Structure 1
Amino acid sequence: MNKTLLSAVLAVAALSPFAAKADDASSNQLNNFFVTGNLGQSNYRVGGISDKSDVFQSVRFGWRWNNIVGAEAGFTSLGQAKDKIGNATIGVQPKAVLLGVNAKYDFYGPWFVSGHAGYLRSRSVGSVTVGDVRQTERSWNNGWYGGVGVGYNVTQNVALAINYDNYHVKYGRGGSNQSQTNANVAAYSASVEYRF
């Protein structure tokens, strides 16, 4: 009985460092999941529009291998760009689904730099408003996005950052008898990231 108890105690003592390391590894892997919310201002870089700025919103979620590089998916609303021509107001309002890669690097204590880029599928609503009458047309197109940021890890799970992003969106079908407008939309935002 004593030999069995002694063998069990020695086995537990010998295996406990490996169990602790496995527990740390699994908690570190769990911390690699994240969700990020951005709020800021968009700036349309396209000619012929007088009102080029509006509210920018984005939410992304994903996972990073070793807390450095990984995949992400999300949704963004780039606000609305408008122009007034006589008594008519012309506007375009793109929203997009995102799929890409992201990276984060802690460079000095809690400070970090981040970047992300990838594919977007936009749905833009063009509108013409005259008085109380409004007519709209929708357009679906492919594009790309990319951005960088710098931030601070407030806790192990929460980070704050300021960011610059660029979204390349299109409006129109681009066929032989239809025109297509390309626009780069810059977005300046603050973000909150939560790591699970």
Structure 2
Amino acid sequence: MESSMNKLALSAAVAVLALSPVLSQAAHADDNSTSTPTYGANVNPNWQDNFFVAGQLGQTQYRVDSDVLNTNHGTFQNIRFGWRWNGIIGPEIGYTYLGQPKWSDGYNQLSVKPRAATIGVNGKYNFYQNWFVTAHAGYLRSETKFAAIGAFGTDRYQTWNNGLYAGLGVGYDITHNFSLGLNYDNYRLQSGNGTSLDNIGVPHSRTNVAAYSASVEYRF
């Protein structure tokens, strides 16, 4: 699975690079029609044009001992809404799904399904024509669902915890409103609580979750 995601990310990067000459010509054509660049620049004096929605799809990798989880990766999905002052920096809110890692000893099985609501700050900077870098960071509130399957049936448990997230990305402005990018994010999660060990055999713990993804962004 990890190899497939790496190939997908490489293919996306090659596709963007291959299209960049064509897209650059389109950008110059648009620029000739007005005295102000329509994209490939950060400053946008109209604050109403700086709202955006972004979606990410990729793979998570749980940074834990291999003896803890037999399957420590899963599908990563994230959606964010935000605004940027002058197209550069501003607030964001979002919701993310971090896969469903599993552990099994051949007789018993435990699956973990964390999700999180996020709030933080984000930035975007065009460093060369339509190419840009992004960054974001903030606070998250996670919900983790546990399902323990054994000889006597299935036990389910749910906990809520606080955490932090941060990420970096690079991408290309296809048009004034639409961009593609590749990203790395890290989520600092907590799971379990003071009673989860007695109820489902899972102690309170902290975990780093890495997420590798491709993204699309639309600016209003």
TM-score range (shorter-chain normalised) is 0.7 to 0.9
Q: Tell me how far 1:97 sits from its aligned partner.
A: 0.3
Moved over 6 A (4+): none
CA contact (8 A) 2:107 2:150 kept: yes
CA distance in 2, matches of 1:37, 1:161: 10
Q: Does 1:122 align with 2:142?
A: yes
> Aligned match of 1:184 in 192, 208, 217?
208
Q: Tell me how far 1:134 sits from its aligned partner.
A: 2.4
Q: Does 1:52 align with 2:52?
A: no
CA distance in 2, matches of 1:125, 1:143: 16
The one-letter code of the counterpart of 2:133 is V
Trace 1:8-19 onto structure 2 (pairs within 5 A).
none
Taking structure 1 as the reference length, what is the TM-score of the superposition?
0.82
Q: Tell me how far 1:85 sits from its aligned partner.
A: 1.4
Q: Tell me how far 1:161 sits from its aligned partner.
A: 0.3
CA distance in 2, matches of 1:64, 1:184: 28
Trace 1:98-113 onto structure 2 (pairs within 5 A).
98-113=118-133
Cα RMSD, aligned residues only:
2.1
CA distance in 2, matches of 1:115, 1:43: 20
Query: CA offsets per residue over residues 136-188 of structure 1, 9 Å max, x none?
Result: 1001000000000000000000000000000011111147x873111100000
The one-letter code of the counterpart of 1:80 is Q
The 3-state SS of whatever aligns with 2:47 is: helix
Distance 1:124 1:154, change over 3 A: same
Q: Partner residue of 1:156?
A: 176
The 3-state SS of whatever aligns with 1:30 is: helix
Q: Partner residue of 2:58?
A: 40
* Number of aligned positions between the proteins: 172
Q: Where does the alignment leave 5 or more consecutive residues of structure 2 unmatched? A: 1-35, 37-42
Query: CA offsets per residue over residues 60-108 of structure 1, 9 Å max, x none?
Result: 0010000000000010000111011122211111000000000000000
Q: Where does the alignment leave 5 or more consecutive residues of structure 1 unmatched? A: 1-20
Larger radius of gyration, structure 1 or 2?
Answer: 1
Q: Tell me how far 1:30 sits from its aligned partner.
A: 2.1
Q: Does 1:81 align with 2:101?
A: yes
CA distance in 2, matches of 1:26, 1:153: 14
Query: CA offsets per residue over residues 7-29 of structure 1, 9 Å max, x none?
Result: xxxxxxxxxxxxxx9xxx99732
CA contact (8 A) 1:96 1:121 kept: yes
CA contact (8 A) 1:38 1:190 kept: yes
The one-letter code of the counterpart of 2:80 is R
Higher relative strand content: 1
Q: Does 1:69 align with 2:93?
A: no
Q: Does 1:141 align with 2:161?
A: yes
CA contact (8 A) 2:102 2:109 kept: yes
The 3-state SS of whatever aligns with 1:87 is: coil
CA distance in 1, matches of 2:152, 2:53: 40
